[in-house]
Amino acid sequence: MNSAVFTDDPFVAKIDSYLKSHLSPMRYEHSLSTADTSSALAAMFGYDQKRAFFTGLVHDIAREYSKEELVEWAAKDGRPVRELDLASPVLLHGRAGAMVLKEKFGIQDQDLLDALSSHTTGNAGMKTLAKILFVADYIEPKRKHITPEFISSLEGLDLDGKVYAVLMGTLNHLADKGKSVAPEALELKQELEHAE
C-alpha cells in the first residue's frame, strides 16, 4: 500500500493532517510504518488491506494527549476508568483514540474502534483487525527493540501464533522491568493458550 496514494482520499487526508499536528514526527513515522505493516499482514491473512492500513495509521491518534485528556476521552466509551488506568494513564490512549475517531471524525466501524481500544494491552475476544494491529504495532520495522531473530521466529506462524509471540515479548519485557501486567493481557494469554 502506498501511503501517498492512500492519502489522496480527502477524509483520510483530514485525519492525516490531524495526526501530523498531534503527534511528534517520530510517532507519526511509527504510525505510517504500523500502517504499512498492518497492510502487509492483511495481505498475508486475506484481510482488507485498506482497512488495515487506515487502522494502523490512526492507532496512536491520542498517544500524546495529556493525562487529563486521556482519562476524559477514555471514559466516554462507558467502561470504568480503574485505579490501574489512573496509575498509568498512557495505557488509556487506545480507548481514548477510539472515542476521538468516533466523536471527532464520525467513524462507526466497530471493529476498527475495538482494534484501537485493545492495542495497548490486548484483550480476550480480539477480532482479526485487532490482532493485525496488535502485531503490526510491535513489529513495524522502525521499532528499535525488535531483533531479526524475533522477526524470523514469527515466520510461518498463523495470526494467533504471532499475537501470542508478541504478547509474550511484552509480558517478558514487563517482568524484566518489574512492572505490573494489565488483567486484559493475561485474559488474552489464557484465551490463546486454550484455543483449539
Query: Which parts of this chain interact with Fe ion (CB under 5 A)?
Result: 60, 137
Alpha carbon distance 27, 166 (integer Å): 20
Which CB sits closer to Fe ion, 16 or 137? Answer: 137
Which CB sits closer to Fe ion, 46 or 56? Answer: 56
Dihedral-angle region of residue 54 (phi above 0 means left; psi in -120 to 50 means alpha; beta otherwise): alpha
Residue 163 makes CB contacts below 8 A (sequence gap 6+) with 122, 126, 131, 134, 135, 188, 192
CB of 196 to Fe ion, least distance (A): 30
CB of 161 to Fe ion, least distance (A): 21
CB of 75 to Fe ion, least distance (A): 18
Measured in degrees and rounded to the nearest 5, phi and psi for residue 147 equal -90, 155
Please count the other Cβ atoms lying within 10 Å of the Cβ belonging to residue 20. Answer: 11
CB of 94 to Fe ion, least distance (A): 6
Nearest to 56 by CA among 30, 78, 35, 77: 35
Which CB sits closer to Fe ion, 38 or 46? Answer: 38
Which CB sits closer to Fe ion, 179 or 194? Answer: 179
CB of 58 to Fe ion, least distance (A): 10
Which CB sits closer to Fe ion, 36 or 60? Answer: 60
Alpha carbon distance 136, 133 (integer Å): 5
Nearest to 44 by CA among 163, 155, 193, 179: 155
Which CB sits closer to Fe ion, 60 or 164? Answer: 60
Alpha carbon distance 121, 188 (integer Å): 9
- In the block, cell 484483550 appears at 123
CB of 76 to Fe ion, least distance (A): 18
